Amino acid sequence: MTTIPKATIEQALTEGLLWGAMPNGRYWKLRRNGATRVWKTRPNDFSIPVKAGLRSCARITEMSLVDLHGSSDWRQADFVVATTDPNDGAK
């Protein structure tokens, strides 16, 4: 499994370029929802809280985007870094 580096995710969040796939197949823009968490004993592990829409909250980790409400786990394939809305091509 290919992992996305923390620096890439943080830069995309800062620039507003990170999109997450929702269960209905549409992409929503992800926004930072707190500070990045890192561990001294596990330097490659991180957790970045994000928000999508009005109610969806999740955490991006080194392996996946984990839904905090427990409905499902988002795989890394389910989010994309894009300068334009990924939904525009789906119409």
Q: Is the pLDDT of residue 19 over 50?
A: yes
* pLDDT single digits (tens) 74-87: 555 567 778 888 88
- Examine residue 1 and state whether it is found in any structural domain, yes or no: no
* pLDDT single digits (tens) 54-76: 888 888 887 765 544 444 445 55
- Examine residue 19 and state whether it is found in any structural domain, yes or no: yes
Give the integer Cα–Cα distance in Å for 42 and 91: 43
pLDDT at 41: 95
Domain count across the chain: 1
Q: Is the dihedral of CA 19, 67, 56, 51 positive or negative?
A: negative
Task: Quote the domain boundaries for residue 14.
Answer: 6-85
- Examine residue 90 and state whether it is found in any structural domain, yes or no: no
CB distance 44 to 62 below 8 Å? yes
Give the integer Cα–Cα distance in Å for 19 and 80: 5
* pLDDT single digits (tens) 29-59: 999 999 999 999 998 888 999 898 888 888 8
**Considering the entire predicted model, what is its pTM?**
0.74
